[in-house]
A and B are shown apart, each in its own frame.
Chain A
């Protein structure tokens, strides 16, 4: 028999107190972990999405900024067009090092000619592209040819089929990108040449043809010269080129960032309220349980237990319950987040990626520490009070 074993037996022998403390610990650890996972995951998603876009500035048609951001972030397809001449005008702007046009397209809804409904398609120009091409060279050691596409992490070829059907045109999925947790994971990248071929085939095979306006582009990716201020370049574009909106890479997803901040404030507040109520509830339950056990603890003192031993037994019970509840809370949270990630994204309107293992481990430890500290803090006072009581009075009760 050891102190821990005695504590374990006491836990098993006091089901009501154990259940309440376990539940509180589970809630605290679960809430702390959920908060951490969503906030870090959302932050990570936004950062990865920006990295994936790989440009210092994205120039889009005037008034289309929000829709383009929403398309890139949440995978809600959009089509917006501006004259192709914008590409040359942007390239001519001061301190611009490189530009590359992109076309934003979408598959049809519930059409037999498209394997996937409402999929966001990003067509790029391989001659000027500095976003997708370097990644392709690094991963598959080549470029996309006609009829080839690369997909986000959630794109797959349906079972039993050789490729993906878009407007009745079959494309081969050449590679898949790392997950970002954003709409880019459900998007396809293809060359403009493939997009135009798809548009041509669609006139014969698709339920509705794919329309790509002549001499139009959806966005212009801009890389500024090293050492130059992208903000000044964006301002220059805004002033000198009419009908376009330049979006600075760090300013991307501003509305989502605002939502994220509001969400962060909300969940942190909920977490604080949970912590405070848990401390009060656990403190109350521990006081009640300790009062019920005064005689038992007095007997331990009579048998030779020191005050410190009694204190340690009570705190060990609290600590063990906190750990059990904390681990259960962490496990349930991870399970829920993994199983219901898409539902959470849809509900919150903010994408997030389950953090990588080291970060996840740190968040789990943080959640456990939160639950352990809260329970220990709540149990400290009743444990101290009862362990320092005169055993003769405790046994008389």
Chain B
């Protein structure tokens, strides 16, 4: 479970000014939920996601991941936690252009020194096959379509069998057809594995795929917007 307790996040713009991205947010994301967060650009959705993963520190308040405050953990423990328990799907192209599809998917395994790396390629192959990318193992990201690249990113996010998947506008660059394919993939994933998914989108159309949804505006979660369908 991820808990936000009175979390505020401000980013410095210059030496004097700062912009408040998140204001006094209180939120509990339950285990096994498929939470869809909607809101306009600049509403604080991505900041919320980054805070959930401990990628940035709150300016005030605290974020608990499985009852542990991210701030209480040293960098290597935070990294290990992200590596083992969190999968990321980004809005922007996040694949390493110099690595093949297979190497990109297996990449998260190299960050964990204590874990065997031999199985990484085996699992990556399996994931790519299950996402209909079995014939693209040796392809470089530039050789794949946008939809294929996004499926590759999902495969990478699932490599370490995470407990939670954080997806930041995963369909924003996709056409309607591919968008529904990717969203269906998330739904199946959630239904089959029970993984917690937090998906951020500006499209209210996608709320239907989740089990829960919230709406954000001006860095706040709108009152009573955590809905369980």
Chain A residues closer than 8 Å to B47, beta-carbon distance: 392
Q: Which residue of A lies closest to B12 (CB)?
A: A393
B93-126 Cβ-contact flags toward A at 8 Å (1 or 0) = 0101111000100111111100001001000000
**How far is A391 from B57 in the complex, measured between Cα atoms in Å?**
10
B74-86 Cβ-contact flags toward A at 8 Å (1 or 0) = 0110011011100
Q: Which of B26-34, B48-56, B62-70, B128-136 lies at the interface with chain A? A: B48-56
Are A296's CB and B96's CB within 8 A?
Answer: yes
Chain B residues closer than 8 Å to A1, beta-carbon distance: 99, 103, 106-107, 109-110, 117, 120
B47, B80, B98: most-surrounded residue (chain A CB, <10 A): B98
Chain B residues closer than 8 Å to A396, beta-carbon distance: 46
**How far is A391 from B90 in the complex, measured between Cα atoms in Å?**
13
A395 with B76, Cβ < 8 A, contacts A302-B55, A304-B108 known: no
* B84–chain A nearest beta-carbon distance, Å: 7
Q: Which of A5-13, A20-28, A274-282 lies at the interface with chain B? A: A5-13
How many chain B residues touch A (Cβ–Cβ < 8 Å)?
35
Are B117's CB and A302's CB within 8 A?
Answer: no
Are A392's CB and B55's CB within 8 A?
Answer: yes
Is A19's CB within 8 Å of the partner chain B? Answer: no
Q: Which residue of B lies closest to A307 (CB)?
A: B75
B84, B96, B103: most-surrounded residue (chain A CB, <10 A): B96
Is A390's CB within 8 Å of the partner chain B? Answer: yes
Is A339's CB within 8 Å of the partner chain B? Answer: no
Interface of B is mostly: helix
Is B88's CB within 8 Å of the partner chain A? Answer: yes
**When the two chains form the complex, which single residue of B82, B96, B109, B120 contacts A302, counting CB atoms closer than 8 Å?**
B82
Are A305's CB and B90's CB within 8 A?
Answer: no
Are A13's CB and B98's CB within 8 A?
Answer: yes
Q: Which residue of A lies closest to B166 (CB)?
A: A302
Are A390's CB and B76's CB within 8 A?
Answer: no
* B206–chain A nearest beta-carbon distance, Å: 22
Question: Which parts of A276-327 form the interface with B (CB within 8 Å)?
Answer: 295-296, 298-309
Is A347's CB within 8 Å of the partner chain B? Answer: no
Is A3's CB within 8 Å of the partner chain B? Answer: yes
Chain A residues closer than 8 Å to B99, beta-carbon distance: 1, 6, 9
Is A2's CB within 8 Å of the partner chain B? Answer: yes
Chain A residues closer than 8 Å to B94, beta-carbon distance: 295-296, 299
Q: Which residue of B lies closest to A295 (CB)?
A: B92
**How far is A300 from B111 in the complex, measured between Cα atoms in Å?**
9
* B154–chain A nearest beta-carbon distance, Å: 13
**How far is A25 from B98 in the complex, measured between Cα atoms in Å?**
23
A393 with B11, Cβ < 8 A, contacts A10-B98, A303-B82, A307-B75 known: yes
A6 with B55, Cβ < 8 A, contacts A13-B98, A299-B94, A392-B47 known: no
**How far is A396 from B75 in the complex, measured between Cα atoms in Å?**
20
Chain B residues closer than 8 Å to A295, beta-carbon distance: 92, 94
**How far is A299 from B108 in the complex, measured between Cα atoms in Å?**
10
**How far is A390 from B56 in the complex, measured between Cα atoms in Å?**
6
- Chain B residues close to A by CB (< 8 Å): 11, 46-47, 50, 53, 55-57, 75-76, 79-80, 82-84, 88, 90, 92, 94, 96-99, 103, 106-112, 117, 120, 156, 160
For the complex of A and B, the 7 pairs showing the least CB-CB separation, nearest first, are A304-B83, A13-B98, A392-B56, A392-B50, A9-B98, A304-B111, A306-B79
